[in-house]
Amino acid sequence: MSIDDLRRRLATLTTAHLADACLRAGVPVRCGPAALRPVVPGGQLFGPVVPARHVGSVDVFLEAIDGAAPGDVLVVDNGGRVDESCVGDLVVLEAAAAGLAGVVIWGLHRDTVDIRAVGLPVFSLGAIPTGPRRLDPRPASALTSATVGEWTLDAGDLAVADDDGVLFLPAGRAGELFQAAESIRATERRQAERIRAGVPLREQVGFAAFLAARTDDPALTFREHLRSVGGAIEE
Domains of the chain: 3-176 (3.50.30.40), 200-235 (no CATH)
| One-character DSSP codes across 98-143 | TT--EEEEESEE--HHHHHHH---EEES-B-S------PPPPTTTT
60 near 94, Cβ under 8 Å? no
| Residue stretches of the annotated binding site for substrate | 88-91, 110
182 near 13, Cβ under 8 Å? yes
Please list the residues that pair with 1 across neighbouring strands: none
| Residue stretches of the annotated binding site for Mg(2+) | 111
Binned at pLDDT 50, 70 and 90, residue 224 comes out as confident
Note the pLDDT of residue 53.
Answer: 98
pLDDT tens string 27-49: 999 999 999 999 999 989 999 99
Max CA pair span of the chain: 64
Of residues 197 and 233, the one with the higher pLDDT is 197
pTM beyond 0.85:
yes
Asked if the model's pLDDT at residue 150 lies above 60, the reply is yes
Q: Are strands 122-124 and 37-38 parallel, antiparallel or unpaired?
A: antiparallel
Instruction: Among 82-86, 140-144, 163-167, 218-222, name the one with the lowest average pLDDT.
Output: 218-222
27 near 60, Cβ under 8 Å? no
108 near 85, Cβ under 8 Å? yes
Total residues belonging to the chain: 235
| Residue stretches of the annotated binding site | 88-91, 110-111
What is the average per-residue pLDDT within 2-16?
A: 95
Note the pLDDT of residue 234.
Answer: 53
